[in-house]
Amino acid sequence: MDTCDTLDAARTVRSRRRAQARLAPALLAAITRDGTVEAVAHALAGSLPATIGARRVAIGLSLGPGEPIRVRALTGQPTLDERRRAVRRLTACLEAMSVPAGATSAGDAGIRVWPDAASRDDQVVGQDVGGDDAEGAAAYAYADGCGAISLACLTLSGAHGGRLVVLFERGPGERAFASGELVGLRSALPDVAGWLVIEARRHGPWRQRARDAWRDAAGRVPVLPRMLPTVLTDAVTPRRTTALVAVCAVILLGALPVVHTVTAVATLEAEHRQVVGAAQAGHLLAVHARVGDRVEQGELLARLDDRQARDELIALREAMLRVDEELSRALAVRDRSSLGRLRAERAGVLADLSAAERRLERSRVLAPFTGTVLAGELDERLGASVQAGETLFELGADRRVRLMLEIDERDVRLVEQGLQARLRMASLPMQVWEATLEQLEPVAVAEPGRNVFRMAATLVDADESLRPGMQGVARIDTGHGALALVWTRALRERLTVLAWRIGLIG
């Protein structure tokens, strides 16, 4: 029996040595064939179990001090989903059992086993042998989930403080790990660990690449450590340097002089405007013009109900015919008494006829000149009564327009007569017009949510494309100032008024 055990142990040692001899060619082939971190990690996960007789091997990688460990490969698993519970348990076990950079474990440097030798004799397999410490709890949670009875963790230091963490598992029926079994691998894998950390950092997040570039650039300047104290060189990190450069750039940008502009709502108005009202009372019968229509002088805009005037006109014309016939007969018979009466009656009918014609004419609302209808939406008032003198339309001459600017009351102190403004209309956004400010109207106009002052302006090159009623945005150049002061002026003024209102300033 002892002879069989000796032969089995010898065969086990020979097979592990052959597996260790095949490890280096397998890694070299993975690096040559693919050259990626995942390919080399999967090659390690596939080759390492046979080197120490493990059931399964997990490969984790940390890119630097304080960086979390990420599982890169697991024996028998082509892909890993970090959202799954088993992978999260494996990550927690790697974090708990790995040796931090620069630290040593209780036994051999960089090697930890679970359960340790002191507790194996007193614990029963399957029970929680982790105790109350975080390492034991994480190891037990992972071992309980995958059915392992013994775990061993090998931590190898890489470049820039990175770490390669290899976790070995053994299942039921196998003996527990001893720290001495991993000593050979600890001396065989440092180069692989350094290569994996360097490649992972080179293809890692851009922040990591920026920090590495900073350290490499600082390493090429040997004068810097001699010129500055050690405290300052340790404090100059990429993040702090970036923050300092950003603060300096913001300060310089805030002090940059820029043109201080004031924006205002611009509206084109007709220089000559006239209201058109109802000449007499009546009911609105028809509307022939709407806002924005261009009308010619004498064109019909609207018509009032004229049926009564027409009936009266017809009756008066019939009366005139009757009087003319009677007057003709009286002249024929030379009836002088009837001639005087008929002539007086004819004059009265003629006066009534003229009055009826004027009433009929006043029922038609005509355009007094050629222009554009600026106001007068009467479609909803068809059939309604209107009073004599009531305004129905507002017309503007379309040959000449004037520009009116609505300036907020917070900006009115910055503008004055003679300043230049640039204008873009909403309907013609690709064209810019120049204008010169005129006199400011002294009374503010209440708009929804604000008060504005109206200010007239003269367009320098007005053309026929500009029509009354168009709106746009005007920018008025009021001087120069620092960029920070220009951008924060409105906020500073609002805060000043608020502080005055609540009594913070006197």
Whether the CB-CB separation of 166 and 181 falls below 8 Å is answered with no
Rounded-to-integer distance, Cα 336 and Cα 88, Å: 130
Taking each helix axis as running N to C, give the angle between helix 206-219 and helix 238-254, from 0 to 180 degrees, rounded to the nearest 10. 100
Whether the CB-CB separation of 166 and 153 falls below 8 Å is answered with yes
Give the list of residues 6+ apart from residue 33 with CB closer than 8 angstroms, or none: 39
Position 123 scores a pLDDT of: 45
Query: pLDDT grade, residue 12 (50/70/90)?
Result: low
Rounded-to-integer distance, Cα 128 and Cα 308, Å: 110
Can you list the domains of the chain with their CATH numbers? 2-204 (3.30.450.40), 221-254 (no CATH), 273-395 (2.40.50.100), 400-502 (2.40.30.170)
Q: What is the pLDDT of residues 448-498, one digit of tens each?
A: 878 888 888 888 877 777 877 788 999 998 888 888 888 888 888 888 888
pTM: 0.47
- What is the arithmetic mean of pLDDT over 373-382? 71
Whether the CB-CB separation of 356 and 309 falls below 8 Å is answered with yes
Quick one: CA dihedral 442, 446, 452, 455, positive or negative?
Answer: negative
**Average pLDDT in the chain:** 77
Residue 46 has pLDDT above 70, yes or no: yes
- What is the arithmetic mean of pLDDT over 348-362? 74
Residue 56 has pLDDT above 80, yes or no: yes
The strands making up 282-287's β-sheet, listed across from edge to edge, are 364-366, 300-304, 282-287, 385-386
**CA–CA distance from 39 to each of 50, 63, 73, 322, 325 (Å)?**
18, 17, 9, 120, 123
Position 475 scores a pLDDT of: 92
Residue with tokens 């310089």: 252
Rounded-to-integer distance, Cα 92 and Cα 69, Å: 9
